[in-house]
Chains A and B, each alone.
Chain A
């Protein structure tokens, strides 16, 4: 080959390589760090459930929350990462020294998505709807202090006065959950008693209007919701650019979680319903290494799965196996379970050891090592012996005084890998101290039904938490709460310590000083730890997967982890 031919060949090869690199460069999303937010583009999110209603005031399910988040606005927001109050429709607020009366200044010159001006009357209307008995709003219970409704009045179009009838611990943070609805669109329905039907999933979308960053343009049942930019949205970024950045946000309804992940990995969608499952983490990490997705660890979850026994007085479980009701028995279990092994094997290291329902994800409500029961088989055996539980026939299983084996059934949710594996591992670990556990994976609904009917011995399950503030989980802490798992809906507290927790939680609901609230809640946690009514093992880290196209995301442990600031999301590059 002559030198000139070699040169031409080298040139061609160099050009081809350059073209490939250039084309890849053009097609690849820019990195988040050097990205400047750009207007335009569409992101696709997937959700596993479909909406049944678009009105947050009448529906508390995740899709209604998401729709409200995207299409409506609240007076203020609690930043899910910092806990700080952030102005939204309210620009400023001043309170009396006792914290009971607040004068709130509303943002001026802003409009609903249909162009109608926003005024104080919309705020008053929203609260009128919440408190209307016919609406049966799930928000109504939270918007009360000592059972009394908040008082609201308008000073003028841009100022309102909000009065709490008695000290209210959450203070103005409660307003984070109240989307302000358009009076001009819904007053007639409220007057006619048809408010619950307005904005249902089969309603005409043109009847909806909001102050949020997006408008719901289309809904295809069981397929997708298409949100488009609200041209009247009032927020701008630090440079004065109007928000939201996106032209469109499509929420596709994909009920099957594997299909949801396939779409994300292939670049068909950009965001999923929530955190990744433990069993998907390895695959997602590979995809992250290959540059197909980003995986953000946002810290330990705030909804920790719980193991509890049916301690309702008179229940068959307690009658047949009275040792279940003994604190020493449950404490022995707590010592016999190697929590670190659960973290390492079930969660592949991506979890925090916990001894109570409050995890490090709850921020400063979490008290490290409170109620810690270190892994100690000898201590567990001693506690079990103190209850008269011994292996009397040499079969390796303890027996009670009536020679009945110490065994119990543990219901858990089938298909939920973390719960199934943890239950199995706990069963194996308890075998070492002579306790036989029969793990029974069941359909989620059946577990819920067995809990509701009280037909069970033990359950390992969990409920979703939507707030870091302890008052958000009153249904668990209060003895009359439906999620006071071990003995729910008690007419009066069945034990002294539960009564004390009730009192503390009610005080906490009325206390405004954060340090004092923290002290009260720490005491409640300590009481729970002292009496071990239930057991907690590990709080999994929430890893939020996203496509490489998503810019501006600041994921959080609270649902929805990314879309909570949808107005600040932008597109980093073209779809693969």
Chain B
């Protein structure tokens, strides 16, 4: 069994590696094909054309696109992400610095989402039809339906007007709530459905018939049984935390990878765009790998199917 699991993990790892390299290269290609380049902003700022020509030469922008792509790919294979044109610093250092911040934010947001979403999901799934269940479900749907930027601004408004939470750049709570609440709402919905299904399963009916107390039936038996499908989406959830963090980081001034990427896109810093995508790809791949591995350990059918 251990051998089979290791082989499964290895296969997934190789696939993840290919995915990361592909999306990074695709990001480079798309960013380079977009109108403008690293010197476009300089043109409108009236920078001396000679200085612009120097920059273009330094960044190799005058070389044919296939040459630039080959250089990027070769650098990527050596894990050299190049220099950021905007920040005049190695992309790897910038990405590591901001990626650590995003990871911290994502971790806290995931923790909040889990602590809020799963218990509420068990409640709404096990006691569906009650007013508590209806209230929580409605709130979850409202949070899920709200665009991230609007949700962040509402949270910021509450935080700034009540002064209950600090909104200084670098403070974690507002961005973590902004990022975590929609994920918590999604987890609540999933957990609710899974719990509802579990409660209707024959083994739980049998357990109830054996006289197991209802709270134990819900919080131990149904919760454990319903966790399996929810666990499977954690990889996707981690990915969504990274992609959803762009709006949140932008509005709350959180110094993370999402904001760095937005800066890079706005400036046309192609190497930095690709570097950010590379980092996000690695996080997503690791998240999926962990989720897959856990699922393959918990459910042998997954391993066998792959």
How many whole Å from B150's CB to the nearest CB in chain A?
10
At the interface, yes or no: A268 with Cβ under 8 Å from chain B?
yes
At the interface, yes or no: A396 with Cβ under 8 Å from chain B?
no
* Assembly CA distance A252 to B166 (angstroms): 13
B contact residues around A489 at 8 Å (CB): 49
CB nearest neighbor in A for B86: A52
Known contacts A258-B153, A263-B167, A475-B46; A222/B255 CB under 8 A: yes
CB nearest neighbor in A for B252: A259
B250 touches A482 (CB 8 A): no
How many whole Å from B248's CB to the nearest CB in chain A?
10
A259 touches B153 (CB 8 A): yes
CB nearest neighbor in A for B267: A445
Known contacts A445-B268, A482-B47; A259/B36 CB under 8 A: no
| Contact pick for B35, options A60, A220, A449, CB 8 Å | A449
CB nearest neighbor in B for A58: B88
At the interface, yes or no: A224 with Cβ under 8 Å from chain B?
yes
B48 touches A141 (CB 8 A): yes
| Contact pick for A259, options B49, B88, B98, B251, CB 8 Å | B251
B contact residues around A389 at 8 Å (CB): none
A contact residues around B97 at 8 Å (CB): 221
Which of B17-25, B155-163, B228-236 interfaces with chain A? B155-163
A445 touches B167 (CB 8 A): no
CB nearest neighbor in B for A452: B43
Chain A 52-83 interface 0/1 with B at a Cβ cutoff of 8 Å (1 = within): 11000000100000000000000000000000
| Contact pick for B170, options A200, A223, A258, A453, CB 8 Å | A223
CB nearest neighbor in A for B43: A452
Known contacts A52-B88, A448-B36, A449-B36; A262/B157 CB under 8 A: yes
Chain B 121-159 interface 0/1 with A at a Cβ cutoff of 8 Å (1 = within): 000000000000000000000000000000011001100
How many whole Å from B240's CB to the nearest CB in chain A?
21
CB nearest neighbor in A for B268: A445
Within 8 A of B (CB), among A311-349: none
A262 touches B48 (CB 8 A): no
CB nearest neighbor in A for B260: A222
Within 8 A of A (CB), among B246-287: 250-253, 255, 259-260, 262-263, 266-268
B contact residues around A449 at 8 Å (CB): 34-37, 40, 268
* Assembly CA distance A256 to B36 (angstroms): 23
A268 touches B168 (CB 8 A): yes
Known contacts A259-B156, A445-B41, A453-B35; A60/B47 CB under 8 A: yes
A451 touches B43 (CB 8 A): yes
B153 touches A262 (CB 8 A): yes
Known contacts A255-B259, A259-B251, A482-B47; A223/B36 CB under 8 A: no
* Assembly CA distance A258 to B263 (angstroms): 17
Within 8 A of A (CB), among B27-44: 34-37, 40-41, 43-44
Within 8 A of B (CB), among A199-214: 200-202
Chain B 160-199 interface 0/1 with A at a Cβ cutoff of 8 Å (1 = within): 1101000111100000000000000000000000000000
A448 touches B40 (CB 8 A): yes
A220 touches B170 (CB 8 A): yes
B contact residues around A200 at 8 Å (CB): 88-89
A contact residues around B44 at 8 Å (CB): 448, 451-452, 461, 463, 483
How many of chain A's residues have a CB under 8 angstroms from any CB in B? 45
At the interface, yes or no: B205 with Cβ under 8 Å from chain A?
no
A contact residues around B89 at 8 Å (CB): 200-202
Within 8 A of A (CB), among B45-60: 45-49, 51, 54
At the interface, yes or no: B87 with Cβ under 8 Å from chain A?
yes
A contact residues around B157 at 8 Å (CB): 262
* Assembly CA distance A453 to B266 (angstroms): 18
At the interface, yes or no: A138 with Cβ under 8 Å from chain B?
yes
| Contact pick for B255, options A223, A450, A461, CB 8 Å | A223
How many whole Å from B160's CB to the nearest CB in chain A?
3
B contact residues around A258 at 8 Å (CB): 153, 251
Chain A 112-155 interface 0/1 with B at a Cβ cutoff of 8 Å (1 = within): 00000000000000000000000010100100000000000000
A254 touches B253 (CB 8 A): yes
- Of the candidates B51, B168, B251, B259, the one having the most CB atoms from chain A within 10 angstroms of its own CB is B168
At the interface, yes or no: A253 with Cβ under 8 Å from chain B?
yes
* Assembly CA distance A224 to B268 (angstroms): 24
CB nearest neighbor in A for B90: A202
CB nearest neighbor in A for B48: A141
- Of the candidates A256, A444, A464, the one having the most CB atoms from chain B within 10 angstroms of its own CB is A256
B250 touches A256 (CB 8 A): yes
At the interface, yes or no: A360 with Cβ under 8 Å from chain B?
no
B contact residues around A483 at 8 Å (CB): 44, 46
* Assembly CA distance A141 to B48 (angstroms): 8
A contact residues around B54 at 8 Å (CB): 136
A448 touches B43 (CB 8 A): yes
* Assembly CA distance A476 to B169 (angstroms): 38
Known contacts A136-B51, A259-B251, A262-B160; A463/B167 CB under 8 A: no
B contact residues around A253 at 8 Å (CB): 169, 253
Within 8 A of B (CB), among A351-392: none
CB nearest neighbor in B for A48: B253
Known contacts A259-B156, A445-B35; A224/B48 CB under 8 A: no
B contact residues around A138 at 8 Å (CB): 47-48, 51
At the interface, yes or no: A217 with Cβ under 8 Å from chain B?
no
A contact residues around B260 at 8 Å (CB): 222
B36 touches A446 (CB 8 A): yes
B contact residues around A482 at 8 Å (CB): 43, 46-47, 49
Known contacts A52-B87, A262-B160, A265-B160; A223/B253 CB under 8 A: yes
CB nearest neighbor in B for A250: B168
* Assembly CA distance A138 to B54 (angstroms): 13
CB nearest neighbor in B for A485: B44
How many whole Å from B20's CB to the nearest CB in chain A?
24
- Of the candidates A53, A221, A258, A463, the one having the most CB atoms from chain B within 10 angstroms of its own CB is A221
How many whole Å from A227's CB to the nearest CB in chain B?
15
* Assembly CA distance A250 to B171 (angstroms): 15
Within 8 A of B (CB), among A435-485: 444-446, 448-453, 461, 463-464, 475-476, 481-483
Within 8 A of B (CB), among A512-569: none
CB nearest neighbor in A for B256: A222
A contact residues around B259 at 8 Å (CB): 222, 255
A252 touches B169 (CB 8 A): yes
How many whole Å from B129's CB to the nearest CB in chain A?
40
CB nearest neighbor in A for B168: A252
Known contacts A224-B168, A263-B160, A482-B49; A450/B35 CB under 8 A: yes
CB nearest neighbor in A for B163: A266
CB nearest neighbor in B for A265: B160
Chain A 241-260 interface 0/1 with B at a Cβ cutoff of 8 Å (1 = within): 00000000000111110110
* Assembly CA distance A489 to B44 (angstroms): 12
Chain B 69-96 interface 0/1 with A at a Cβ cutoff of 8 Å (1 = within): 0000000000000000011110001000
* Assembly CA distance A130 to B169 (angstroms): 35
- Of the candidates B46, B89, B160, B260, the one having the most CB atoms from chain A within 10 angstroms of its own CB is B46
How many whole Å from A251's CB to the nearest CB in chain B?
10
Known contacts A252-B168, A445-B41; A222/B253 CB under 8 A: yes
How many whole Å from B85's CB to the nearest CB in chain A?
10
A contact residues around B51 at 8 Å (CB): 136, 138
Please name the 8 residue pairs, one residue from A and one from B, whose CB atoms are nearest each other, closest first.
A449-B36, A222-B255, A266-B160, A475-B46, A449-B35, A223-B169, A223-B170, A256-B251
- 18 cross-chain CB contacts under 8 A: A52-B88, A220-B169, A222-B98, A222-B260, A224-B168, A255-B259, A255-B263, A256-B250, A258-B153, A262-B157, A263-B167, A268-B168, A445-B40, A448-B36, A452-B44, A476-B46, A482-B43, A483-B44
Interface residues of A (CB under 8 A from B): 50, 52-53, 60, 136, 138, 141, 200-202, 220-224, 252-256, 258-259, 262-263, 265-266, 268, 444-446, 448-453, 461, 463-464, 475-476, 481-483, 489
